Amino acid sequence: AAMVGKTHTDELTRGILGENAHYGTPINPKALDRVPGGSSSGSASAVAGGLVDFALGSDTGGSVRIPASFCGLYGLRPTHGRIPLEGILMQAPSYDTIGWFARDASIYARVAEVLFQTVIPDSGPSRLVIAQDAFEEADADVSDVLLPLAEQMAALAGSSTTVRLAPNGLAEWAAQQNVLQSKEAWDSVKDWVDQVNPRFSFWVSQRYNFAIGLTDAQLSEAALVRDQLRARMDEVFAGGGFVCLPTAVAPAPLRGLPTSAKIDVQMRLSRLTCIAGTTGRPQLSLPLAEVNGLPVGISIMGERGSDEELIGFARRVEAALAS
Q: At what angle are helices 259-279 and 216-237 packed, to 10 degrees?
A: 50
**Separation in Å, CA 192 to CA 89, 179, 208, 210, 300:** 12, 21, 13, 18, 37
pLDDT tens per residue across span 211-225:
999 999 999 999 999
pLDDT tens per residue across span 157-174:
999 999 999 999 999 999
Burial of 5 (0-12, 13-18, 19+ CB in 10 A): exposed
Give the C-alpha separation, 296 to 267, whole Å: 18
Mean pLDDT of 114-135: 96
- Residue 246 reports pLDDT greater than 80: yes
- Order of strands across the sheet with 54-59? 54-59, 97-102, 74-77, 283-291, 294-301, 242-246, 128-131, 160-163
Ranges of H-type helices in the chain: 41-48, 65-71, 105-116, 132-137, 140-157, 170-196, 202-212, 216-237, 259-279, 307-322
The amino acid at residue 10 is: D
Q: What is the pLDDT of residue 197?
A: 94
**Separation in Å, CA 37 to CA 43, 131, 149, 165, 204:** 10, 23, 23, 25, 16
Q: Which of 86-90, 139-143, 241-245 has the lowest mean pLDDT?
A: 86-90
DSSP state string for 299-312: EEE-STT-HHHHHH
Burial of 60 (0-12, 13-18, 19+ CB in 10 A): buried
Q: Who wins on pLDDT, 131 or 202?
A: 131
Within 8 A by CB and 6+ apart from 168, the residues are none
Domains of the chain: 11-322 (3.90.1300.10)
Q: Which of 165-174, 180-189, 201-210 has the lowest mean pLDDT?
A: 201-210
Contact 143, 135 (CB under 8 A): yes
Q: Who wins on pLDDT, 262 or 181?
A: 181
- 3-state DSSP assignment of residue 106: helix
pLDDT tens per residue across span 277-309:
999 999 999 999 999 999 999 999 999 999 999
- 3-state DSSP assignment of residue 257: coil
Contact 212, 179 (CB under 8 A): no
Q: What is the pLDDT of residue 184?
A: 97
